[in-house]
Structure 1
Amino acid sequence: MTPSSPATTTTMRTFAARKHGNASVVHDPLTGLTHRTGLTLGSGRVRLSGTDVASWPEIHPAAVQTKVPISVCWSPLVRCNLACPYCLDDKAVLELGRAERYRIANLLADSQVLGVDISGGEPLLLRDLPDLIDVLVAGGRAVSVTTNGTHLARRAEALATRVDAIRISLDGPDAERHDRWRGAGSFDHAIAGIREAIAQDIPTQIQAVLLRSTDQASIRAMADLAATLGVSGVTFLQMLPIGDGAALADDEQLTDNEALALLAELSTTAAVPVRLRIREAAGGFTVIRADGQIWRNQPGAHAISSLHPLLTASDLALTTRDGSA
């Protein structure tokens, strides 16, 4: 889904690029999207115009012939200060210690992965998060952090010179609609975090899980809120029936076609770019959980499968070992 108003993406930002045939592919840490360009760019971290990148055609990572994923989600902890009812994480997973976190960070830094999104749990609960980001950036990765935003106001300054993008999860455009999912006060803390991230010049966007109970007015209001705050856009994510979300699937899961229809009008009229990640697009995505195990979403992202521990960079390979190639 391509927005009609990319005006908020005109500044220069950091992306990650890789040669693809006679040209290059570019990973955008702000949106998580992969773009194909007719230009030949250097490999690794590159500074580009957000407007230019947004104008380049999107390409599904699976269509890029590569030995490793274009991007991965790394969840180095299970702990979270909130309890979202559709959380994808497996709460039974044990967290590795500090030394193991750095081992994994170094493996990802030494790999050919373009982008790493650090998630959780709640990644801002990690005291050493800035140092882990430094390791990944030194290796040439583009790094984003996905957070519930409740600790962002106090941590944004330390992240500002390190992270390439922040994605803040919201469940509603106001405290009444957000806090009924995430708890009293969580909306105000998240908004304070968004304001501070923008004040620190961190490329920032809102993410929202799209549910059957999400009405059209809430969707429009979320886009309006994003424009008011000055964030770079809103990505609506199709709910995945994984983790805690499996219990909500029967009541709250939309089909991809229903989701596309729900956002069709907004995608061309909103004041900020509005995107939809359909469930099909999440198929095959690679997740590294807090225990150091590699997981991949099954086709259609209706389930996730555990593969093997991440012991060397070669364990990330998209091979018939896990059925991904």
Structure 2
Amino acid sequence: MTDLGIPTVPQQQHTEIGGGVGYAFNGQHFTIRADADLDVVAATLDHPLSVILQVTKRCNMDCGFCSEILQMPDPTLEQLATMQQNLDGVNRVFLSGGEPLFRKDFGDIVDIYHEGGHIVAVPTNAVYAKHHAARMAGKVAYANVGLEGPRAITARLRGDYDQIMPGVRVFQEHGIPLAMSAVVLRSGLSALPFTVQIGDVLDAGKVKLILPLRKGNALNMPDHEFITQAEAEDAFSRLKEKAAELQWSPALRMTTWIPENEGHMIVIEPNGTARAWPVYDAVDLWEDLGNVLQEPITEIWKRYRFKRNHISKYVGTSIHATVQGALTGKK
């Protein structure tokens, strides 16, 4: 454990990391005391709870909903080490992409951030898991695998199901905890129960459902694929009922694009540029904040105007959420 109480190996227990301001990290997500005041927490923190660091923009898939299609050079290990130093204090770092496991030196990147004291999570399509899982084991809190459900749906929306699932099994063989994420399109609504069922079979800690935004490849998606807020709420309500009926164990999360979620993510591009995302009326939905190759995250945090939204989303108060095991009694 670090002085902040941040776990240095994957942990599933409730870990207090808030320095007395009321939040904690519980395996795969943040929690907050029921009596905690979000504005007080926002005023107390001098850094984000979580950031998304794009270690590459390259990817082996070409998802029709992908927002990140503009390419740029990968950061060097030296640059990534500088970014890590400037991200000191950030509780969780998503080593993201593109497809982060596309990098042959991904194990070295994991070492940099694990040894820096961060909770490390990895969003991935799992295709290259066999190349990196051994180096990730014991250092990555969880791998978040993108999967839209059964074979036909995943193949249509993302990529080859039969390349993804062997990678998932490799993660399991190395003891790397799993989460899942699925982009929700109207043509995939019928698959959502199967998606959660797959997450239950895989013992995933959570299944995250994400609505697409009009950027990148998603600019070319038909309008009818974008569901409304009311449809999203109805879909989540049905899933929650089905989870209770069938005793699915993963926590369920659905993020919709309401005012309370605007700008909640801090995304760091391969060149170090930090941006708030999604900012609804901004060009490309980005709002520039600074560059973590040039200054510490504490300075960037000072000019970040979505602090409350950031905290609210990550502790689950501005999204649709259930708690892992709450519907099954599983711990």
User: What's the TM-score, normalizing by structure 1?
Assistant: 0.78
State the partner residue of 2:194.
Answer: 221
Question: In percent, how many aligned pairs have the same letter?
Answer: 22
Change (3 A) 1:268 1:19: farther
Aligned residue pair count:
286
Structure 1: 5+ residue stretches without partners: 1-10, 38-55
Q: What are the within-5 Å matches in structure 2 for residues 20-31 of structure 1? A: 20-21=20-21, 24-28=22-26, 30=28
Q: Does 1:235 align with 2:208?
A: yes
User: What are the Cα deviations for residues 40-84 of structure 1, in whole angstroms up to 9, with x where unaligned?
Assistant: xxxxxxxxxxxxxxxx79997996332221100000111111111
Alpha-carbon RMSD across the aligned residues, in angstroms, is 2.8
Once the two structures are TM-superposed, the CA of residue 106 in structure 1 deviates from its matched residue by 2.9
Kindly indicate whether the alpha-carbon contact (under 8 Å) linking 1:105 and 1:132 is maintained by their aligned counterparts in 2. Answer: no
Distance 2:35 2:281 in 1: 23
One-letter amino acid matched to 2:94: D
Aligned equivalent of 2:48, options 65, 69, 72: 69
1:120 aligns with 2:103: no
Answering whether residue 253 of structure 2 is matched by residue 275 of structure 1, we say yes
Residues 192 and 92 (structure 1), Cα distance of their counterparts in 2 relative to 1, 3 Å cut? closer
User: Residues 134 and 95 from structure 1, CA distance in 2 versus in 1: closer, same or farther, beyond 3 angstroms?
Assistant: closer
| Residue 318 (str. 1) matches residue 301 (str. 2) | yes
**Corresponding residue for residue 306 of structure 1:** 288
What is the aligned counterpart of 1:179 among 139, 152, 155? Answer: 155
- CA, structure 1 residues 195+60, in 2 after alignment: closer, same or farther (shift >3 Å)? farther
1:96 paired to 2:75: yes
In 2, Cα distance between equivalents of 1:141 and 1:19: 16
Checking the alignment, whether the CA contact within 8 Å between 1:212 and 1:253 is kept in structure 2 is: yes
Structure-2 residue corresponding to 1:193? 167
The residue aligned with 1:203 is 177
Distance 1:313 1:288 in 2: 12
Tell me which amino acid in the other structure corresponds to 2:155. D
Q: Does the Cα contact within 8 Å between 2:263 and 2:306 map onto a contact in 1?
A: no
Of 241, 250, 272 in structure 2, the residue corresponding to residue 292 of structure 1 is 272
**Deviation digits for residues 273-322 of structure 1 (CA, Å, limit 9, x no counterpart):** 32212223363310001121111114569822233222121465323x45
- Matched position secondary structure for 1:96: coil
**Is the Cα–Cα contact under 8 Å of residues 149 and 198 in structure 2 kept in the other structure?**
no
Counterpart-to-counterpart distance in 2, 1:288 and 1:318: 13
Report the Cα distance in structure 1 between the residues aligned to 2:257 and 2:173, rounded to whole angstroms.
Answer: 33
